[in-house]
Chain A
């Protein structure tokens, strides 16, 4: 069981890494502001490890241009739910002043003790990898071929929408 959890964790971390470092090269092809504005950092982080309820995301896709200079207010973007071999996974990121300030998995496979382990361990890695990408000034990333399956699509779509 633990092995399975670790496998998931490493997959999560790998995909997040690829995505997070790719934020500079990934498109904002479908700009869509989804969900409510995040009010702050401290109080919101508690939800990362516990809540299993997917938020009701009202998908409002507008094909215009995204923010130019009005990005100082925190905004939350939710990716499409993507089926992985473990079940549906959905990722949400919060962006403030053009930087990712928070990454959360809002939906993930339930009904198994390993879920708790994933959430207590993978999420900090998600955030850490994303944050370090933000400070690295990397334009794009090279690595062994990325597949478009699974979790990748979910976080990627969130990042695409954030337009980073």
Chain B
């Protein structure tokens, strides 16, 4: 057999294996981006699928390892809020604070409180204004998510 043919077969095997691993990886870890409004419309499905929801952090309550907070999202002129409980193992990032923008991964609980297993907060190095926000205005100092 020509060396290129042998080489091609080996590469095919490797690529197929990696493709299979990638497919498995995707199906195991896929998380759906949803807004608070979309999540509300999902009904019971929100309790089954792994979801990622983002917003500004408001009112943090720390009780030992458990952290409760409220997330606010501005959509179509409305302020939508979501109560979140974080029970994850990893320490919360130091950038997680009131006013910070964060992403919470988890599932909606039956009680309407989002059960987050992972919290990401905007990297400290990238706090900037949203386009169009005037410097000096109250919202300017807020970090923005991309």
Q: Do the two shown chains form a genuine complex with each other?
A: no
Residues of chain A touching chain B, judged by Cβ–Cβ distance below 8 Å, are none
- Residues of B with Cβ closer than 8 Å to A? none
